[in-house]
Amino acid sequence: MRKKTRVNYREVLGYRKRNQKRGDEIAHLPEAGTLAIVTFVYVGRAASAELSDERREAVLKELAQMHDYDVLQPIQLSELTPEELARAVPSVMLISDKIAPDGTFLKVKARFVVKGYMEAVDDSAAPTISTNL
């Protein structure tokens, strides 16, 4: 694993432009000074061989986490109604390269997420701490 490697900022941006054509990538640059870490997010092509070793490793680590936390449960396709199958929520693997504002490469992080916004579920709320005095 690479550590604290200098990354050429322009090179990273150029990479983003080249790959945007594939339509599988979202690059996100915060305004200067708003965030400590610049993050590039790559969506899809998750565990495919096209990924760099570091990104692939991050993906496998995130998948292993699904196992560790016992999140996923097998289903029998034959027991599902077509409606249930159609309602299955799509998921993506988000892969982000964390780069410090000074161009220092920090790490690659992958996060398995579901596109919950596509689901017809009533909005639910959870309390968060009050920051008022």
Residue type present at position 12: V
Name which of 11 and 84 has its Cβ closer to another protein: 84
Return the residue of 31, 33, 82, 128 that touches another protein, per CB under 8 A: 128
72 is an interface residue for another protein by CB under 8 A: yes
**Diameter of the chain by CA atoms?**
55
Q: Is 111 in the site for another protein (CB under 8 A)?
A: yes
Q: Are 26 and 94 in contact (CB under 8 A)?
A: no
Q: Is residue 80 close enough to count as binding another protein by CB under 8 A?
A: yes
Residues 6+ apart with CB under 8 A from 39: 28, 30, 96, 97, 98, 99
Which positions touch another protein (CB under 8 A)? 44-48, 59-60, 63-67, 69-77, 80, 84-85, 87-93, 111-117, 119, 121, 123-133
